[in-house]
Structure 1
Amino acid sequence: MGEERLFSFANRWFSTSVGLVIAIFLVSTLLGFVLLPYAEPQSRLGGLWQTICSAAGFPSRTSEAEAIAPGFSVSTVGHEMHTLRNPPAASIGRGATLAQQCAICHGPTGVSRADSPNLAGQYAATIYKQLHDFKTGARYNSTMSPFALNMTDQDMRDLAAYYAYLPRLPEKRPAGSAPVPAIVLSGSPMRGIAPCGSCHGDIENKLGSPWLGGQSAVYIKAQLEAFASGSRRNDTSQQMRNIARALTPEEIAAASNYYASLQLSE
């Protein structure tokens, strides 16, 4: 009996195996890249190449008509906030006049005696963004939204310039205070949560993020819960919503109480 070569088309077992593999490959390609994508309901595929790219998971260019608009207002404030730096003295003066309407909630010197945010020394970009979002409906508050509705862009810039110009009161922690909470100091790397100070000023500041030291615990807790529930959604790229949803009630309370414990001393 002669020795038959294994990898030779003369070997009927080899040729049959290769033929079956090729047939399976062709049928799978036809089903996976052509027939099944076209069978999708509401398919907008425009050709074979686009069909293949879509089936392989590569994004395809869509028309503006296909873009899905959100069912709510979103913040439209962009990177033009950097223009708020070094405002002219006239802008600060106009802001001081406008701020007389804000004193009942935010204090005559920008330091609130209630549960409203302290604005003295707050970043100008933060104040401008929030006023702009109140005006456009990206953020809603029964007091602030009607107030901001009739403000011009220059009014918002002037108010932001004035409050940023005011000196931020020094912070102090009472003797014997509890240690800084881990969620504030180091975040939670295993859950993808950065420390609060990486955006809010203790370590670094992200444009538009507020300084939190000395703010009311009631206010901070309410905002974190609003982000977590989705009732507040004017954060850029959903960053605060994603973080707040990952926080436990205990972590929200700890962060709120910590920042409130940084008492402002006049």
Structure 2
Amino acid sequence: MMAQERLYSLRNPWFVGALSIVVGIGLLAGLVGFIWMPYRQAGGTLSGAWDAICRAAGAPALANPDVQLAPSQSRPSEVILIPRMVATDTEAVGRGGTLALRCTMCHGVRGMSGAESPSLAGQGPEVIYKQLRDYQSGHRVSQIMAPHARNLSDQDMRDLGAYYASLPRVTAPPSVAEQLRAPAIVQIGAPMRNIAPCISCHGGSDLKTAAPLLDGAPASYLRNQMLAFAKGTRRNDLQGQMRHIARQMTPEEIEQVVSYYSQR
């Protein structure tokens, strides 16, 4: 007993030295994990040590301090989607094809845009339906789309979704090899910041209802939407998931996502 007491005594230089080393390693690990690494990931744009600690712990924080959030909206959307809620029978596709004639200038004759507008061919019918409903209700703001959606009936929007979903996409789903070459933010996300991988919702490993396919979308369009989510000027994501993710992402990560999907 006497020998054990002397072993764990502060008078024992070996015990004091070992304890100092353990405490030093703990402090160094905390500094690296909670301050240095978040600063590196944010490109030095964090406002201080507390911001870095919050980011490392997964608490909401702006990756870009210049981004100012818009006031929250009580209802981000009035559309609650479930799988296969839009019928894609032949009659719906035919009616949608007639309605889509007015959309060809921006979205292409067969739904593949040659402009800076997104291609809609092969997009999920629920995706088309939800966005049209949100344009019509004002939950998603667009000076271009709002007038086109204003006079559409609910059936019109369902038919347009069915038509565009029936068109073949030019871009094939990514292979496993392509996914492995994708940026880290696309294939594994950033778990320490509560950022899910893009492929878990937008195709690759999974495709969630109402989550659009992003392959081949124009770079300017993707960038504008990511920044709109980050600033809160676009907020028609029901649970705020895209706003949370975009706010946590660094400018470099946003550009990586834009480059990867626009070049597919």
TM-score by length of 1: 0.68
In the alignment, the residues of structure 1 paired with residue 130 and residue 81 of structure 2 have an alpha-carbon distance, to the nearest angstrom, of 11
Match of 1:229 in 2: 231
Cα offsets for 1:153-195 (capped at 9, x unmatched): 000000000000001113499xxxx941110011011111110
In the alignment, the residues of structure 2 paired with residue 161 and residue 93 of structure 1 have an alpha-carbon distance, to the nearest angstrom, of 9
Cα distance 1:240–1:83, how it changes in 2: closer, same or farther (>3 A)? Answer: same
Cα distance 1:170–1:182, how it changes in 2: closer, same or farther (>3 A)? Answer: same
Alpha-carbon RMSD: 2.0
Unaligned runs of 5+ in 2: 1-71, 175-179
Match of 2:154 in 1: 153
Match of 1:140 in 2: 141
Match of 2:52 in 1: none
Question: Equivalent pairs: percent with the same residue?
Answer: 48
Cα offsets for 1:55-100 (capped at 9, x unmatched): xxxxxxxxxxxxxxx6565301113563215x22111001000101
Match of 2:89 in 1: 88
Secondary structure of residue in 1 paired with 2:114: coil
Secondary structure of residue in 2 paired with 1:213: coil
Match of 1:183 in 2: 185
Preserved contact between residue 73 and residue 137 of structure 1 (Cα < 8 Å): no
In the alignment, the residues of structure 1 paired with residue 164 and residue 260 of structure 2 have an alpha-carbon distance, to the nearest angstrom, of 24
Letter in 2 for 1:160: G
Match of 1:168 in 2: 169
Offset at residue 111 of structure 1 (A): 0.5
TM-score by length of 2: 0.68
Letter in 2 for 1:168: R
Query: Are residues 1:196 and 2:206 paired?
Result: no
Match of 1:112 in 2: 113
Large movers: runs of 4+ above 6 Å: none
Cα distance 1:160–1:77, how it changes in 2: closer, same or farther (>3 A)? Answer: same
In the alignment, the residues of structure 2 paired with residue 71 and residue 170 of structure 1 have an alpha-carbon distance, to the nearest angstrom, of 35
In the alignment, the residues of structure 2 paired with residue 221 and residue 74 of structure 1 have an alpha-carbon distance, to the nearest angstrom, of 21
In the alignment, the residues of structure 1 paired with residue 150 and residue 75 of structure 2 have an alpha-carbon distance, to the nearest angstrom, of 14
In the alignment, the residues of structure 2 paired with residue 171 and residue 163 of structure 1 have an alpha-carbon distance, to the nearest angstrom, of 16
Preserved contact between residue 186 and residue 257 of structure 2 (Cα < 8 Å): yes
Secondary structure of residue in 1 paired with 2:85: helix
Preserved contact between residue 124 and residue 165 of structure 2 (Cα < 8 Å): yes
Letter in 1 for 2:248: A
Secondary structure of residue in 2 paired with 1:200: coil
Letter in 2 for 1:114: A
In the alignment, the residues of structure 2 paired with residue 149 and residue 73 of structure 1 have an alpha-carbon distance, to the nearest angstrom, of 19
Give the number of the structure with larger relative contact order, counting CA–CA contacts within 8 Å between residues 6 or more apart. Answer: 2
Structure-to-structure mapping, 1:1-266, within 5 angstroms = 74-80=76-82, 82-85=84-87, 87-171=88-172, 179-262=181-264
**Looking at CA atoms only, which structure, 1 or 2, has the larger radius of gyration?**
1
Preserved contact between residue 122 and residue 210 of structure 1 (Cα < 8 Å): yes
Unaligned runs of 5+ in 1: 1-69
